[in-house]
Amino acid sequence: MSRKRRKKYSKNSGMNQVHPGAKTSVIAIGTIGFAIVLLLAAFAKAGPAGEVIFKLLDKAFGWGYYLVPLILIVLGLGALSQVKRTAMGTTFVGAGFFIAAGLGIIDIIYPDKGGVVGSLLGSLEALFGYAASLVVNFTVLVAAVVLALNVPIKLTFKLPKSNKEKRVKEVEPEIIMPEALATGGDTKEDKKRAAEESKQKGAPAADLAFSGLLISSRGGDYKFPPLSLLKSHSEKPTVGDLRANANIIKRTLDSFGIPVEMGEITIGPKVTRYTLKPADGIKLSRILSLNQDLSLALAAHPIRIEAPIPGKSLVGVEIPNIVGSIVRLGSLLAYPEFKTSPNLNFPLGRDVSGEPTFVDLSRMPHLLIAGATGSGKSVIIHAFILSLLYKNSPETLRLLMIDPKRVELSVYEGIPHLITPVITEGKKAVGALKFVIQEMENRYETLLKAGSRDITSYNKGRKGDFMPYLVVIIDELADLMTTFGREVEGAIVRLAQMARATGIHLVVSTQRPSVEVITGLIKANITSRIALQVASQIDSRTILDNAGAEKLLGGGDMLFISSDLSKPRRIQGSFISEEEIGAVAKFVKRENPSSGEVEFGGTEDKGLNNNKFEDFLGDDVDDDMYEEALEVVKRAGKASASLLQRRLRVGYARAARLLDIMEDKGVIGPADGARPREVYMDFEKDEGEYSDEE
């Protein structure tokens, strides 16, 4: 039994080794050979066997006998050439019907000339009549050709429908370009502003004081910088063939089974947004998954899909412009919306529709800016500072700048809005943040005494005793978090939680968007954030809790999110050059020398006048231990490292450091060999406490 099975398996295996193409070729060659034999038999050249075949087929097919070898030759050659990869069985069936229908037509036209097969089909004439029987046979003939060739017939009446579809695809979309982009920034507001400045040239720019909180009488001498110091003109963006891109998007989505209807096209400074409406029942996730396919079809990278557009039942596809347009800060500051806005209002830039975007820091109330190196973070900070200088005098706004990199904010050194020179040391930055916390507490005491809920209600109607806004700008948070992470995080979180009502606001930036820098506590309390271009989707989620920043173009291209927005909003940030920054800062310092001593906290004993700020910039970062050490020196009436080591149970290094702090503050005298240091402060010694040290 086992031998038979092996033999049978070996036979089947040999048959399976024959290539399917070889089988087809053998059948085709046999068909051609049989056709040649039939032709020879018709001329009595095939011997007795051929004569028998001829008589049988002639009786069966009549005049149609000569069609049989011709059709067989055509079928054989077609199979060998493999012009059409059709099934051989279907082809032979179609050929058979073709011969039968042809014989029926011959028998109807020429009776008794179609053979037996023809007479059978010709008998249809008795049922349908002459004309109808011809129609039936011609119908079978055409169907046989279609079946044999396996080729569909395309009728001409489909052509108009195809043209109609083509016209729908190539319909002209509505293109929207704002006037500011079309004219390169020379809007009506810009021209009007230039005309007004030409008339008022040389006059103080006090008329540029904006509505909002009232400015005290002491701020009337402040000269606002003119807008002529800033450039406003920019080149028109180059966008390419908008209609062709719209058709590419439509065809690409159609090829994936997503029919869409194209909508309006809006041109922005750096990107152009194509809107589309998908058909009912289409999941947006299918469109979002085709990001790379659309990028390939459009030959554009990177593209961003916004599905859906907030407030609209549309999907937006944002494609980079061939040549972008620069958004000048000067063109944005000329808008009436900026001039009549509150004190802390500033322009972020232009959105994907090319419209200006203004935001109010007092409503945020704090801002976090993060992005990779070279993405435009510093430019955004400079544009923010200049916007504040164009709206606020030192009486309405004071600034505290922390610049660990030492070079970004140094240009503002000496402007009257600063409460202290730009801070560049991490240790002093921690002290400055502690001062701001103390200032916040002092302001709350002042608001409580005045019966006011916040700084707006406190300043309303006041002419003299005005509480200015305080904006703290930290240019590089990562450097501070690396050195003084716990102190800095704690100070930022506390200010972010409580400082809004007192008019204290934070603007924090970093170029390292990691969870070690942008911690969960900081993100939870600073809800307004700007994400510039980052390297990965992980960094984008660290900043925004959403993906998308990794697809930005850089150069100020940002995603902005706040508590007022449900989804991140794409904005092209305003650009400001170093020459413009220097010109504005120089004008403010030259025309407005540092003056106003401001009662910063609103109280005489804790305000800026009593130099309390310098106390916070000292070295006593170990506040708790310093107070304990001061108490030890007070009770003992002397100061030495060994005394502090024993009483506080600390090492020599920390004890010596505490002594140095006391010496810097004038509490104790300098070292005098092995003797204890002299205590300068007039402390009352508690009798019986701290006997002589051994």
Write the CB contacts of 622 (distance below 8 Å, at least 6 apart in sequence): 654, 658
Looking at residue 664, what DSSP letter applies? H
Q: Is it the case that residue 492 has pLDDT exceeding 50?
A: yes
- Mean pLDDT for the stretch of residues 136-140: 74
Flag whether 510 is marked binding: no
Q: Is 330 marked as binding a ligand? A: no
Tell whether residue 131 is among the known ligand binding residues: no
Does residue 371 have a known ligand-binding role?
Answer: yes
Q: Report how far residue 330's alpha carbon sits from residue 326's, in angstroms, rounded to the nearest whole number.
A: 11
Lowest-pLDDT choice from 294-308, 355-369, 586-600: 586-600
* Bridge pairing between strands 356-360 and 528-531: unpaired
- Least confident stretch, 233-247, 250-264, 565-579: 233-247
Residues in the chain: 694
What's the pLDDT tens digit per position in 334-390?
998 898 888 899 999 999 988 999 999 999 999 999 999 889 999 999 999 999 999
Instruction: Say which range, 54-58, 210-214, 419-423, 508-512, has the weakest mean pLDDT.
Output: 210-214
Structure confidence at residue 150 (pLDDT)? 65
User: Is the pLDDT assigned to residue 610 strictly greater than 50?
Assistant: no
Domains along the chain with CATH numbers: 19-149 (no CATH), 238-320 (3.30.980.40), 364-590 (3.40.50.300), 619-694 (1.10.10.10)
User: Which residues share a beta bridge with 401?
Assistant: 473
Closest to 407 measured CA to CA, from 472, 348, 505, 476 = 476
3-state secondary structure of 507: strand
Q: Smallest Cα–Cα separation from 456: which of 471, 442, 441, 466?
A: 466
Q: Is 378 annotated as a binding residue?
A: yes
The DSSP bridge partners found for residue 267 are 272
Cβ-proximal residues to 283 (8 Å cutoff; 6+ apart), any chain: none
Which of the two residues, 170 and 440, has the higher pLDDT score?
Answer: 440
Q: In this model, does residue 124 exceed pLDDT 80?
A: no
**What is the overall mean pLDDT for the chain?**
78
Higher pLDDT, residue 450 or 17? 450
Question: Residue 373, annotated ligand binder?
Answer: yes
Between the alpha carbon of residue 241 and those of residues 18, 227, 244, 245, the distances in Å are 56, 36, 5, 6
Choose between 508 and 135: higher pLDDT.
508
pLDDT, one tens digit per residue, over 638-691 is 898 888 888 888 877 778 888 888 887 778 888 877 788 888 776 554 444 444
Tell me whether residue 257 is annotated as binding.
no
Whole-prediction pTM: 0.65
Ranked by mean pLDDT, the top range of 63-72, 195-204, 222-231 is: 222-231
DSSP 3-state assignment of 207?
helix
Predicted local distance difference test score (pLDDT) of residue 156: 46
Share of the chain above pLDDT 70, in %: 73
pLDDT at 275 over 90: yes
Strand ranges in 556-659 using DSSP code E only, listed in sequence order: 557-561, 569-573
pLDDT confidence bin for 574, thresholds 50/70/90: very high
- pLDDT tops 70 at residue 625: yes
Lowest mean pLDDT among 168-177, 221-230, 539-548, 666-675: 168-177
Local structure of residue 322 (DSSP, 8 states): S
Contact 344, 505 (CB under 8 A): yes
Whether pLDDT at 99 is above 80: no
Structure tokens at 353: 């529709």
Report, as an integer, the average pLDDT of 441-464. Answer: 87
Percent of the chain with pLDDT over 90: 37
Q: Is the dihedral of CA 245, 249, 251, 252 positive or negative?
A: positive
pLDDT category of residue 607 using cuts at 50, 70 and 90: very low
Q: Residue 127: pLDDT above 80?
A: no
pLDDT of residue 167 exceeding 60: no
What is the residue-wise DSSP string for 518-545? S-HHHHHH--EEEE---SSHHHHHHHHS
- Residues with Cβ within 8 Å of residue 196, at least 6 apart in sequence: none
Q: How many whole angstroms separate alpha carbon 1 and alpha carbon 10?
A: 14
Select, from the ranges 79-83, 150-154, 332-336, the one with the highest average predicted confidence (pLDDT). 332-336
pLDDT band for position 315 (cuts 50, 70, 90): very high
Contacts of 339 (CB under 8 A, 6+ apart): 208, 210
pLDDT exceeds 50 at position 8: no
Mean pLDDT of 574-589: 94
Q: Which of 10-24, 33-47, 402-416, 599-613 has the weakest average pLDDT?
A: 599-613
Tell me the C-alpha distance between 304 and 274, whole Å. 11
